[in-house]
Chains A and B, each alone.
Chain A
Amino acid sequence: MKGIEVRQVTKSFDKQMILNGIGLTIEPNKIYGLLGRNGAGKSTLLNLLVNRIPVDLGEIRIDNETIKDNDEQLAKMFLMSEVNLYPKNAKVKDIYKWTEKFYGGFDFELATNLSKQFGLRTNTVFNKLSTGYRTIMKLIVSLSVPVEYVFLDEPVLGLDASHRDLFYNALVESYAENPRTFVISTHLIEEIANLVEHVLVIDNGRLIIDDATEKVLSNAYMISGPEDKVDEYTEGLNVIGSDKLARIKASYVFGTLNNKPIPDLINIDKMDLQTLFVNLTSGGSNNE
Chain B
Amino acid sequence: MQFNFNSSEPIYLQVAQQIEDAIFTGGFKEGEQIPSTTEISKEFHINPATVLKGMNQLVSRKLLEKHRGVGMFVSNGANERITLNRQQNFYNKYVIGVVKEASRLNIDEADLKKLIKQGYQSL
A interface residues (Cβ-Cβ under 8 A, vs B):
31, 168-169, 172-173, 175-177, 191-192, 194-197, 214, 217-218, 269-272
Instruction: Tell me which residues across on chain B come within 8 A of A177, comparing CB atoms.
Output: 38
A218 with B10, Cβ < 8 A, contacts A173-B38, A173-B42, A176-B38 known: yes
A194 with B46, Cβ < 8 A, contacts A217-B10, A270-B8, A270-B9 known: yes
Complex: how many Å from CA A271 to CA B7? Answer: 10
Complex: how many Å from CA A132 to CA B83? Answer: 50
- Please, could you name 25 A-B residue pairs with CB atoms under 8 Å apart, sorted by A? A168-B45, A169-B42, A172-B38, A172-B48, A173-B42, A176-B37, A176-B41, A176-B42, A191-B45, A192-B45, A194-B5, A194-B44, A194-B45, A194-B50, A195-B46, A196-B47, A197-B50, A214-B10, A214-B11, A214-B12, A217-B10, A218-B10, A269-B8, A270-B8, A272-B8
Nearest-CB distance from B39 to chain A (Å)?
9
Q: Cβ of A197 and Cβ of B10 under 8 Å apart?
A: no
Q: Cβ of B48 and Cβ of A176 under 8 Å apart?
A: yes
In addition to A168-B45, A173-B42, A176-B41, 19 A-B residue pairs with Cβ atoms within 8 Å of each other are A31-B47, A169-B45, A172-B41, A172-B45, A172-B48, A175-B48, A176-B37, A176-B38, A176-B42, A177-B38, A192-B45, A194-B5, A194-B11, A194-B50, A197-B47, A217-B10, A269-B8, A270-B8, A272-B8
Instruction: Tell me which residues across on chain B come within 8 A of A271, comparing CB atoms.
Output: 8
Complex: how many Å from CA A262 to CA B115? Answer: 31
The residue in chain A whose Cβ has the minimal distance to the Cβ of B8 is A270
CB contacts under 8 Å to A, within B2-16, are 5, 8-12
> Interface 1/0s, chain B 38-73, versus A by CB < 8 A?
100110111111100000000000000000000000
From the candidates B10, B12, B37, B47, name the one contacting A195 in the complex (CB within 8 A): B47
The residue in chain B whose Cβ has the minimal distance to the Cβ of A222 is B8
Instruction: Tell me which residues across on chain B come within 8 A of A168, comparing CB atoms.
Output: 45
Q: Cβ of A194 and Cβ of B47 under 8 Å apart?
A: yes
Q: Cβ of A197 and Cβ of B45 under 8 Å apart?
A: no
Complex: how many Å from CA A50 to CA B13? Answer: 37
Complex: how many Å from CA A195 to CA B11? Answer: 10
Nearest-CB distance from A39 to chain B (Å)?
28
Nearest-CB distance from B93 to chain A (Å)?
18
Complex: how many Å from CA A194 to CA B47? Answer: 6
Instruction: Tell me which residues across on chain B come within 8 A of A195, comparing CB atoms.
Output: 45-47
The residue in chain B whose Cβ has the minimal distance to the Cβ of A30 is B49
Complex: how many Å from CA A192 to CA B41? Answer: 12
Which of B9, B46, B49 has the most chain A CB within a 10 Å cutoff? B49
Complex: how many Å from CA A172 to CA B41? Answer: 7
The residue in chain B whose Cβ has the minimal distance to the Cβ of A268 is B8
Complex: how many Å from CA A271 to CA B10? Answer: 11
Complex: how many Å from CA A146 to CA B92? Answer: 52
Complex: how many Å from CA A192 to CA B11? Answer: 13
Q: Cβ of B49 and Cβ of A197 under 8 Å apart?
A: yes
Instruction: Tell me which residues across on chain A come within 8 A of B47, comparing CB atoms.
Output: 31, 194-197
Nearest-CB distance from A270 to chain B (Å)?
3
Instruction: Tell me which residues across on chain A come within 8 A of B50, comparing CB atoms.
Output: 194, 197
Instruction: Tell me which residues across on chain B come within 8 A of A169, comparing CB atoms.
Output: 42, 45
Instruction: Tell me which residues across on chain B come within 8 A of A173, comparing CB atoms.
Output: 38, 42
> Interface 1/0s, chain B 1-33, versus A by CB < 8 A?
000010011111000000000000000000000
Complex: how many Å from CA A257 to CA B44? Answer: 31
Instruction: Tell me which residues across on chain B come within 8 A of A272, comparing CB atoms.
Output: 8
The residue in chain A whose Cβ has the minimal distance to the Cβ of B49 is A197
